[in-house]
Structure 1
């Protein structure tokens, strides 16, 4: 099965399932020897679906504009020293608060990791296939000021930000903008 012909591969790609063609090509005939046709197809579809899902999640993460794209809720350092509860962090990681339409607010001193935590939470939402966006408050204010003076700008701005399932608004100021915006 792994040796599908050029025309079949072309048709699969034309239908937008190139990952399925790649999964067929990647199958090892020796490892799948003795496996039924149905099981081989199931393995190929599972591989193609995993590739598809990974691509979707990576795209969501890239478009979220995270301040810390490598942030991860599982790698939070010094949870107890920062006053963070492992149980609360684990619960946030399920993204159930999104389904319940609840807000989450992180507060703490400058440098306590709120921006990292917001990025990690937004990334986790993307991994659950939610559309998230990270923006600094000064940038949000600036985009609103630019939009409100344009015809239809307010409505377009509101539609844009309403389209995100999770919106992380960071009140921190970067050093380069601190004196101008904060």
Structure 2
């Protein structure tokens, strides 16, 4: 959790990472060579930051972020995973598109890593892949507001949330009522 007006120092990491703004509003500033990029992220925005790129976060509101570190070997093990990563670098995933899924997978991955039970490493990798695929589906999601696109959006939501636990509170949160 960061307080309003928090500013991280400019740094680079030896791993790739996904930053998910669970609550609040942040700005991501990154520098790669001579190029500087600043991207604003409202709540539920997902940023992809490649390894070795200097970057920093600035909070415009008190924020809660979740960070998923990804190794180069993990991303390059399968061409499809690498292609997804490349698309995420170009297109931030924003808005309510990632609500529910990312935070749930992230918490489960942290629990698996903490408990170190049988198969925990495989489970953590599988959850990281779920995050990548879900984000990629939203990057290439519909921009048209036609009835057909709205129906396809509902179908995707059902697919994404079919196996998630539900409660009245979660349903209200997803609907933006709480």
- Pick the TM interval, shorter chain: under 0.3
| Larger helix fraction of residues | 1
Give the TM-score taking structure 2 as reference length.
0.26
TM-score (norm 1): 0.26
Larger of the two Rg values belongs to structure: 1
When you count strand as a share of all residues, which structure comes out higher?
2
